[in-house]
């Protein structure tokens, strides 16, 4: 499996290092730039990203589950109306 160093080096070789003006930088930010990187190296790195992002995604799922359980509304709307009416309406 290829490391991130190889991918970083391949991307650095294919990109330019010339300084850009503000407008050139904005244009480059919103345009699609073709990068000539070995497809096999890119595929191996994408497999690594999948395993890298699994841990934060699992942590977010656990936190969301704890949040939903901790803040579950245990009263129904019917019970809320009865409790705020103050008892009998007679």
The pLDDT value recorded for residue 83 is 64
Other C-beta atoms lying within 10 Å of the C-beta of residue 29: 9
In angstroms, the CA 32 to CA 23 distance is 16
The pLDDT value recorded for residue 49 is 83
The pLDDT value recorded for residue 61 is 97
pTM over the 0.85 mark: no
The pLDDT value recorded for residue 31 is 81
Asked if 7 and 45 touch (Cβ cutoff 8 Å), the reply is yes
Q: What is the CA radius of gyration of the chain?
A: 27
Any idea how long the chain is? 90
Query: Which parts of the chain sit beneath pLDDT 70?
Result: 1-3, 16, 35, 75-90
């Amino acid at each position: 499996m290829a490391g991130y160093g190889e991918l970083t080096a391949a991307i650095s070789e294919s990109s330019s290092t010339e300084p850009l003006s503000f407008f050139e930088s904005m244009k480059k930010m919103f345009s699609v730039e073709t990068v000539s990187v070995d497809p096999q190296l890119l595929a191996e790195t994408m497999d690594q990203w999948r395993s890298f992002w699994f841990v934060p995604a699992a942590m977010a799922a656990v936190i969301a589950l704890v949040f939903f359980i901790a803040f579950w509304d245990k009263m129904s709307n019917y019970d809320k109306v009865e409790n705020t009416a103050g008892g009998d309406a007679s």
